[in-house]
Amino acid sequence: MTRAQQTISIALLLSSLYIAVFMQIVSLPEKIHTEIVPVLPFWALVSFGAYLLFKLGWGVFTFNDVPDAHAEILAQIKEARTELRAKGVDVGSD
């Protein structure tokens, strides 16, 4: 099962559970059904947005912590320039 299929399966499962609770197929106490269930999609959307903002912020915060990757990409750029120059392509200066 690919990751996309797994994600779609989980989304369909959660949607089905929510619809069953929202349409009172699954019985819950009245207070939960009237006060909590209607705002669950909004809560899920806000939580997902907060998670994505955290992941973005963490990625920016740790961006400079990859000196090995920086050195590796500079070596790859130098290698590519050398190969292109050997084929007669003008790639500018180092």
For the stretch 40-52, pLDDT in tens is 999 999 999 999 9
Q: What does the pLDDT read at residue 44?
A: 94
Residues 6 or more apart whose Cβ sits within 8 Å of residue 22 = 37, 38
Above 70 in pLDDT, residue 94? no
**Closest C-alpha among 53, 55, 34, 44 to residue 14:** 44
Is a pLDDT exceeding 90 seen at residue 13?
Answer: yes
The per-residue pLDDT for 90 is: 84
CB 28 within 8 A of CB 43: no
Residue 65 — pLDDT band, cuts 50, 70, 90? low
- Note the pTM of the prediction, 2 decimals: 0.58
Domain regions of the chain by residue span? 3-63
